[in-house]
Amino acid sequence: MLVARKVPAVPALIVGIILGFICQVFVQGDTFANAFSALQGGYVMETGNAMVDNLFTRGGLESMMYTVSLTIVAMTYGGILEHTGILNALVSQILKLTKSAKGLIPTTIASSFFTNITCSEQYISIVVPSRMYSDVFRKRNLHSKNLSRALEDGGTLTSVFVPWNTCGVFIFGTLGVSAFQYAPYAIVNFAVPIISIILATLGYGIAYLTVKPTSTQQENIG
């Protein structure tokens, strides 16, 4: 119901957790101790059927700590790079070669892909470039959704192509197929970044903070 009403994700998740807790205690008749235990460690079903038990034994904060810890590490790494001045030094050198929006968006995509290769983590490939280029996009009067789209195209989609990236390792561990084997068939993952670079180079689909680009912005497009 909350999703249908377009309630933001965080409040909707909080309401869902609270309602689940209430249902476990007052509807299913479980204890408060077990309810809090389920929040931390998840629900464990013991029916005697291995398939059913494996299907319904899920959840809890502990099951999400791997993802949460990676996010914390990525944010910490990005903060260190920013406050030590490394980000500013990198951006200043990169921007010497990037004078317009046509070059800035492809550069962001390439930076995210390069971070995937060097840091081996999808979250870092999104957090670090976003910190690098957020001020630049704003100064050039480019809407933040341009940056968001570039990070998605260069960071999220390309992570599966790096065998030593956490995404590539997860897929190999789950399916037993290496990145080199499935890469030719991951059409969306390599087609979208290419299309995004082409459209940015042509100046198509670039959103500005103002309704219409000024003369200076028009020069930046070219």
* DSSP character string of 78-113: HHHHHHTTHHHHHHHHHHTS--SHHHHHHHHHHHHH
| pLDDT computed for residue 101 by the predictor | 72
Pick the closest to residue 151 from 175, 121, 178, 127 (CA basis). 127
Q: Could you give the CA distance from residue 115 to residue 95 in angstroms, rounded to a whole number?
A: 17
Instruction: Report how far apart, in Å, the C-alpha atoms of 190 and of each of 24, 109, 153, 166, 181 are.
Output: 45, 12, 9, 18, 14
Q: What is the pLDDT of residues 91-131, one digit of tens each?
A: 778 877 777 778 899 999 999 998 888 888 888 889 888 88
Percent of the chain with pLDDT over 90: 31
How crowded is residue 118: how many other Cβ atoms within 10 Å of its Cβ? 11
pLDDT value, residue 213: 52
In sequence order, what E strands does the chain have?
none
| Segments of the chain scoring below 50 in pLDDT | 219, 221-222
Query: Under a CB-based contact definition with an 8 Å cutoff, are residues 82 and 131 in contact?
Result: yes
pLDDT computed for residue 221 by the predictor: 47
Contact call for residues 140 and 220 (beta carbons, < 8 A): yes
Neighbours of 140 (CB within 10 A): 20
Say which amino acid occupies 3: V
Distances (CA, A) of 97 to 51, 56, 104, 146: 57, 53, 9, 19
Q: Single out the residue of 139, 126, 127 nearest to residue 95, CA to CA.
A: 139
